[in-house]
Each structure stands twice: as structure tokens, then as C-alpha cells.
Amino acid sequence: VPAPRPSADQVHLAAPDPARVYDCLIGGSNTLDADRAAGVWIKLTAPDLFTTMQASKAFARRAIRFVSSQGIKQFIDIGCGFPNSPNTHEIAQSVNPAAKVLYTDKDLTVARRVEEYLRGEPGTAFLRSNVLNPEAILAEGVATGLIDLGQPVACMLAAVFHFIPEEVHPDGIVSSLRRAMAPGSYLILSHLASDILWDTKNNEETLRRATSDLYPRTKSRVTEFFGDFDLVAPGLVPAAEWRPEQAPDHSTPALAIYGGVAQKN
Ligand SMILES: C[S@@+](CC[C@H](N)C(=O)[O-])C[C@H]1O[C@@H](n2cnc3c(N)ncnc32)[C@H](O)[C@@H]1O
């Protein structure tokens, strides 16, 4: 059984941390022994999870490329996690070198690593902030001079909202973001699914015990987070099926994470 979880605003090196365990699952290097132990435990009890997280990361990268190709030049990457190249600004700037990215995450270790990584990277900034306070993220984004809310922006919530329980009103959070975005803006969101069956041993409980409280949701519930934005084709789908670069492999069950991109009219 994994070590006890740390309390809110401290860096605990001996306990697994959700951001670092995720980094371990997507093959990153920002992990410590406790995170790798949790990763091994997840692999034993929930073997699909590695591919599920990788599918989410790959979805986010395709979505960034897509919205960049539609002319989006500014991004707010909320719950960005540790650097893992290609990062949002690297993808966006490969399409448009002038693209700007505000990264945000609530995690202290993520903050330190991202700030170090971004030093000297033009068009980027990091803000340590909790998505529970979206107004602060938007205000800081504007204050840095990086984000102009009068122009279309892409807000990213990639594999983040399933950490947000219903009690703290996720709809209010995401609607504050949607309201502040100019017409033409995009919302990019991926979210663990509660209505796609996991492998028999591969369930929500495993994740929760390994890392943090998690709130997988149904497709119709996740769709509500897009509000009155228009989902671009193919809509909200298992993340691996969102505009895949190669034909999807339908011989294996869909991975239990949704991905979708929607635009404000
Ligand atoms: C599973 S990782 C996803 C990282 C990145 N978005 C990606 O798709 O690769 C989730 C990240 O969300 C962050 N996070 C969780 N709850 C958050 C909150 N309430 N506010 C801001 N960040 C949060 C964690 O610290 C972690 O870095």
C-alpha cells in the first residue's frame, strides 16, 4: 500500500505526489522513489493506466497543434504538470514563433521545475495558482502582459478536472474561464471517464489509493464543462480517438479518458 499522502502546501519527498506520479506514468524524469513505487503499484493493479495517461498527453499535443493551425497564438495551460517535451509552447511556437503560453499549476515541485525550465524561453511564463481561483489566473495572465483577453486564447485543462470534486463547483470554475475568453477562443479538455469500463483490475480505486482523490465523470457530465462552446469534430471522444495521426486500434477497448476541443462563437 502506498505511503500516506502529503498535506496541501508542502513538498513531501517520502510520499507519492499526484503530479510526480503522473510524470512517472508518462515517462518523465521528475519522479522520486515514492512516486516510482506508486507507479509500479499502479502498473501492477491498473496496467492500462500507463497507456491512458499517454493517450491524454498525445491528445493534448494534437489539440495544441490543431488550435495553433486555426490561428490561436496564446495559451493558458492550467495544471500544466512537469515539463515534458514537446511542451505547449514548443508545439505552439513551432506553428507560430510568436505564440505565448502562460503555464499554471498548484503544485510546488512543478512550479520550481517549470520556472527553471522556462528561464530564457521567450513568450512564456509560469504562475503558481489553483484552478479553484480562475479569476486570479486570468488576472495574472493579463498582468504578465502575456495574455490579451480581447483576442482568442486556448485554455487547456488537460487531465486536471478529474481532481476537482463536485463540492467545489467545477461548472462555476470552467464557466468563469469561458466567459472571459474572446469569441474564436478554444477550450481543450481531457478527463478520466467513469462510463468507459476499465480492465477488471484497473479502476478508480487504484488511482485514488495511489495518488490523490479523483473524480472520473461520464461523457454527458464532461460535455457540460464545454457549456455553449461548439465542440469541433469528432466531439468529445475517448482521447486516443480525437483526430488520431494513425488509424485507431479498435481491437483493444477504449482507454478510459475523454478528450475534446470546443470553440466559443
Ligand atoms: C495528471 S497531471 C496533468 C499534467 C498536464 N496537464 C498534462 O496533461 O500532461 C495533473 C496536474 O494538475 C495539477 N493540479 C491538480 N489539481 C489542481 C488544481 N486544483 N489547480 C491547479 N493545478 C492542479 C497537478 O499538480 C498536476 O500537475
Which DSSP string do the residues of 71-138 spell out, in sequence order?
T--EEEEET--S--SSPHHHHHHHH-TT-EEEEEES-HHHHHHHHHHHTT-TTEEEEE--TT-HHHHH
pLDDT of 83 above 70? yes
Q: How far is the CA of 251 from the centre of ligand 1 (A)?
A: 31
- Ligand 1 pocket test: pick from 88, 160, 169, 212 the residue with the most ligand atoms within 8 Å of its Cβ: 160
Question: 104 with 135: CB under 8 angstroms?
Answer: no
Q: Is 237 in the pocket of ligand 1 (CB under 6 A)?
A: no
Q: Which three cell numbers stand for residue 215?
A: 473524480
User: Hey, how many other C-beta atoms are within 10 angstroms of the C-beta on 128?
Assistant: 16
- Tens of pLDDT, residue by residue over 174-195, are 999 999 999 999 999 999 898 8
Indicate the pLDDT class of residue 9, thresholds 50, 70 and 90: low
Query: To the nearest whole number, what is the mean pLDDT of the chain?
Result: 87
- Ligand 1 pocket test: pick from 52, 104, 105, 137 the residue with the most ligand atoms within 8 Å of its Cβ: 105
pLDDT of 256 above 90? no
> What's residue 49's pLDDT?
73
> What's residue 200's pLDDT?
54
- Ligand 1 pocket test: pick from 78, 104, 163, 169 the residue with the most ligand atoms within 8 Å of its Cβ: 163
Q: How far apart are CA 255 and CA 47, in angstroms?
A: 11
Indicate the pLDDT class of residue 19, thresholds 50, 70 and 90: confident
Q: Which has the closest alpha carbon to 41: 16, 14, 20?
A: 16
- Tens of pLDDT, residue by residue over 143-174, are 999 999 999 999 999 999 999 999 999 999 99
> What's residue 224's pLDDT?
98
Ligand 1 nearest atom to the CA of residue 56, by list position? 8
pLDDT of 89 above 80? yes
Q: How far is CA 146 from CA 72, 73, 202, in A?
A: 14, 11, 41
Q: Whose CA is nearest to atom 23 of ligand 1?
A: 79
> Between residues 47 and 228, which one has the greater pLDDT?
228
Indicate the pLDDT class of residue 1, thresholds 50, 70 and 90: very low
Q: Which has the closest alpha carbon to 67: 154, 158, 182, 156?
A: 154
> What's residue 247's pLDDT?
78
Q: Is 22 in the pocket of ligand 1 (CB under 6 A)?
A: yes
> Between residues 204 and 200, which one has the greater pLDDT?
204
> What's residue 3's pLDDT?
47
> Between residues 77 and 197, which one has the greater pLDDT?
77
> Between residues 169 and 30, which one has the greater pLDDT?
169
In percent, the amount of the chain with pLDDT more than 70 equals 83
Q: How far is CA 140 from CA 147, 197, 244, 248, in A?
A: 9, 40, 34, 40
- Tens of pLDDT, residue by residue over 36-73, are 777 777 777 676 777 788 899 999 999 999 999 999 99
